[in-house]
Amino acid sequence: MSSLPVNRQTALPGFQESDNTAENPGVRAPLVLNMDRFGQVTRQVCQVAESKKPPFAWYAAFTISLGLVGLLGFCVNYLIFTGVGVWGLNNPVMWAFDITNFVFWVGIGHAGTLISAILFLFRQKWRTGINRFAEAMTIFAVICAGIFPGIHVGRVWLAYWLFPIPNQMEMWPQFRSPLLWDVFAVGTYFTVSFVFWFVGMVPDLATLRDRATGRIQQFAYGLFALGWRGSNRHWHRYERAYLLLAALSTPLVLSVHSVVSFDFAVSQVPGWHTTIFPPYFVAGAIFSGFAMVVTLAVPARQLFGLKDLITLRHLDNMNKIILVTGCMVGYAYSMEFFIAWYSGAVYERFAFINRAFGQYWWAYWIMVSCNVITPQLFWFKSIRTSIPIMFALCLVVNIGMWFERFVIIVTSLANDFLPTSWDFFTPTWVDMGTMLGAFGLFGTLFLLFCRYLPMIAIAEVKATMPQANPHWSGYAAHDDHGHAGGSAQPSFASPDALRSPGSGPDGGPSAP
Amino acid sequence: MTTLSPIPAPVIQGNQIPRKRLYGIMAEFHDPAALMAAADKVRMAGFRWWDCHTPFPVHGLDQAMGIKRTILPVLVFGAGMTGTMIGFCLQAFTNAASFSIWALVWVTGYPFLISGKPLISLPAFIPVMFELTILLSALSAVGIMFLFNGLPRWNHPLLANKRFLRVTDDRFFIVIESRDPRFFASRTEQFLKDLGAKAVEMVEA
């Protein structure tokens, strides 16, 4: 239709056109800015995938990421052909960078599931702006995580021993080991997250299919859109299935990092053998994951012109969650210390004093300053809504959370029961290369996703617009086509109680 | 109001056209409110083979269309319980049994004795049972949803329609299929026009 009005105001009372962070009880903050037509949302999201060339920064980032993937490939192959001795591992520090990276990446993934599942169950509509790429982040993070235990097993060609594959050797995995629970937890987590992501994307892939002009795009998007045609009978089952997935993913995401924490908590190493680990790991995972979502969202919305869909309010909300989970993490750190003293266990007490003042004191204090002190700045709204500051703080949180895992794993192992077997872990260049390479892999996958897939859940965002409410009557009276046939418009055109007169889309009074 | 008919107009007379050539009639709406009102009327007119097509799920349209709640959750619950049982049997067999069963090959369990713990140590089996419950539930929720929806289906009369391309963008459609017993091309077309559709169009099969 040629008569699509552009750039109508959507400002609601109490909200600026470009700043929707104000709190106005009684008025729902707008989640989509500067747009009041569904088509505008479609175009805004699809232009990223449809543009002939992405912005220059995309090429720059992609080149760097791809280079790091090369480094990862080299390091992993070098490890496989030489042996795990190329890492800085020693006896007693048998786990170091590999497991640190594994726990770090699994943790990153948790924010995506929290956004897509838990916020969905709580009917937090702002999740729609960020859930798609947060879920993508989850999947890519779990891929990165999966690499590390995979190559850490030593004889990589026997990694299939992790799975209960029917065999005639009476050789089975030992199901009482938390390491095996991990295989099932992370495997399920990846599968369910992937399915969740894909199912959510099917209607949007159909949008891209219907807009595609090239043969290749039509075929590729068409193939994965599975012939979706927006039938309401389909939507009905789709929404049910989606709700079920959310309800299933919620306990799943809580279980995954709990199981990861069992890898430590079930052992008897001082500093690991604590009951606080499962909730503490989950809170830390969500904390680091949200920091990563903000780290990715800030450049992405800038680069691809999505500021009206990933608004300041979305970022503000995420920063609030970072503040809350940061406080939980801080509480866990102090409670660990308290229990170490209160338990009266000498090894436990030593482990914690050693963490803060032993050979790895610097790692511990990096962790505390990054994870406990930094997020406290988010108490101030001016900081929560300042793009450069939040970006910097979230990078700091990412670093802090990496160090948290390093501190837990390495300090506990390096100085355990017998002082004669103590040692100091120093990473080698292969350790460093593999860690950087994993970031490269993550970046590569994420950049490809941004370029070719709908970065924002188009259908879900549309459904959160006030215009999507069947009782909304905003531009009905001003529609150029009029309402022929005298349909039931009058009976449905009850004014939305939340919209004050004069707030109609083009400044005129709302109908009726 | 615009009416575009790709099928030559004179063909449509009463119910004369061959059923096979016509998939149905499609009416286009521009906002959810108009669609809801129209869907209500189509249901009340007694049509059975009809559907609404929307870019996003419209709240309340299920009721307007009279769609019955799907039994999907019940089936998913069954699948989840199956997962729990598989999880238990898998662990009990591989870690506690000493007999053989056939699972692609003849396999024998191995009674692992770990620190004198009971062979069937349920608490230690719970994480894997839980994960398999979730895994089977999630996969079956999605699989059954697509199965019931008849997807994937890459060829469909509606997907070949130019106007219908905007259903994934910002247009709302009601489609009444020609196989509906109450379908009469000209009368149904007029009926849809009277519902306030912005455009009414024949869809070829």
pLDDT tens for each residue of A442-451: 999 999 998 8
pLDDT at res. B138: 94
pLDDT at res. A327: 93
**By the 8 A CB rule, do A487 and B34 touch?**
yes
Contact A232 B76 (CB under 8 A): no
Nearest CA among A339, A371, A334, A331 for reference residue A356 = A334
Contact B107 A167 (CB under 8 A): yes
CA dist A461 and A469 (Å) reads: 12
B 7-66: CB under 8 A from A: 30-38, 40-41, 51-62, 65
pLDDT at res. A473: 65
CA dist A18 and A154 (Å) reads: 54
CA dist A421 and A11 (Å) reads: 67
Residues of chain A with C-beta less than 8 angstroms from the C-beta of B145: 199, 237-238, 240-241
Instruction: Out of A196, A229, A481, name the one closest to residue B159 (CB).
Output: A229
A 175-234: CB under 8 A from B: 175-176, 178, 180-181, 184-185, 187-188, 191-192, 195-196, 199, 203, 206-207, 209-211, 222-223, 226-234
Contact B165 A210 (CB under 8 A): yes
Residues of chain A with C-beta less than 8 angstroms from the C-beta of B1: 484-485
Does residue B184 carry a pLDDT above 80? Answer: yes
How much is the ipTM here? 0.86
Query: What are the structural domain ranges in chain B?
Result: 2-68+153-204, 72-149
Average pLDDT, chain B: 85
Q: Are strands B199-204 and B2-3 parallel, antiparallel or unpaired?
A: parallel
Instruction: Out of B60, B168, B195, name the one closest to residue A487 (CB).
Output: B195
Instruction: Out of A166, A203, A227, name the one closest to residue B156 (CB).
Output: A227
Residues of chain B with C-beta less than 8 angstroms from the C-beta of A481: 30, 198
Under DSSP, the state recorded for A1 is: -
CA dist A277 and A281 (Å) reads: 6
Instruction: Out of B35, B53, B170, name the one closest to residue A42 (CB).
Output: B170
Instruction: Out of B36, B112, B168, name the one closest to residue A206 (CB).
Output: B168
Q: Please tell me which residue of chain A has the smallest CA distance to B144.
A: A241
Q: Please tell me which residue of chain A has the smallest CA distance to B109.
A: A170
Contact B168 A210 (CB under 8 A): yes
**By the 8 A CB rule, do A27 and A12 touch?**
yes
The neighbour count for residue A330, using CB atoms within 10 Å, is 18
Residues of chain B with C-beta less than 8 angstroms from the C-beta of A492: 33-34, 36-37
Pairs of CB atoms within 8 A across A/B: 261
**By the 8 A CB rule, do B25 and B203 touch?**
yes
φ, ψ for residue B107, nearest 5 deg: -125, 150
Which range of A58-62, B32-36, B56-60 scores highest in mean pLDDT? It is A58-62
Does residue B50 carry a pLDDT above 60? Answer: yes
pLDDT at res. A63: 95
pLDDT single digits (tens) B131-162: 999 999 999 999 999 999 988 888 888 888 88
Q: In angstroms, what CA-CA distances link A341 with A228, A266, A338, A401? A: 60, 20, 5, 24
The neighbour count for residue B55, using CB atoms within 10 Å, is 28
Would residue A271 be called left, alpha or beta, if left means φ above 0 and alpha means ψ between -120 and 50 degrees?
Answer: left
Q: Decide if B129 touches A, using CB distance below 8 A.
A: no
Q: In angstroms, what CA-CA distances link A120 with A335, B39, B73? A: 31, 28, 18
Contact A238 B57 (CB under 8 A): yes
At residue B154, what is the residue type? Answer: W
- Distance (Å) from the C-alpha of residue B198 to the closest C-alpha of chain A? 8
Contact A226 B195 (CB under 8 A): no
**By the 8 A CB rule, do A309 and A461 touch?**
yes
pLDDT at res. A472: 73
pLDDT at res. A432: 93
CA dist B143 and B128 (Å) reads: 22
Written as tens digits, the pLDDT of chain A (512 aa) is: 334 443 444 445 545 556 777 777 777 777 887 777 888 888 888 888 888 888 888 999 999 999 999 999 999 999 999 988 899 888 888 888 889 999 999 999 888 888 888 888 888 888 888 889 899 999 999 999 999 988 888 888 888 888 888 887 878 898 888 999 999 999 999 999 999 999 999 999 999 998 888 888 889 998 999 989 889 999 999 999 999 999 999 999 999 989 999 999 998 888 888 889 999 888 999 899 999 999 999 998 888 888 888 888 889 999 999 999 999 999 999 998 899 899 888 888 998 999 999 889 999 999 999 999 999 999 998 898 888 999 999 999 999 999 999 999 999 888 888 888 888 888 999 999 999 999 999 999 999 998 899 989 999 888 888 888 877 766 544 444 434 333 333 333 333 433 433 333 333 333 33
Instruction: Out of A173, A470, A485, name the one closest to residue B58 (CB).
Output: A470
- Distance (Å) from the C-alpha of residue B137 to the closest C-alpha of chain A? 8
Q: For Cα atoms B134, B140, B142, give the angle at the middle one, nearest 5 degrees.
A: 105
What does the block give as tokens for A124? 């937090």
Instruction: Out of B53, B121, B135, name the one closest to residue A230 (CB).
Output: B53
Q: Decide if B77 touches A, using CB distance below 8 A.
A: no
CA dist A412 and A427 (Å) reads: 16
Any residues with CB less than 8 A from the CB of A331 and at least 6 apart, and which?
none
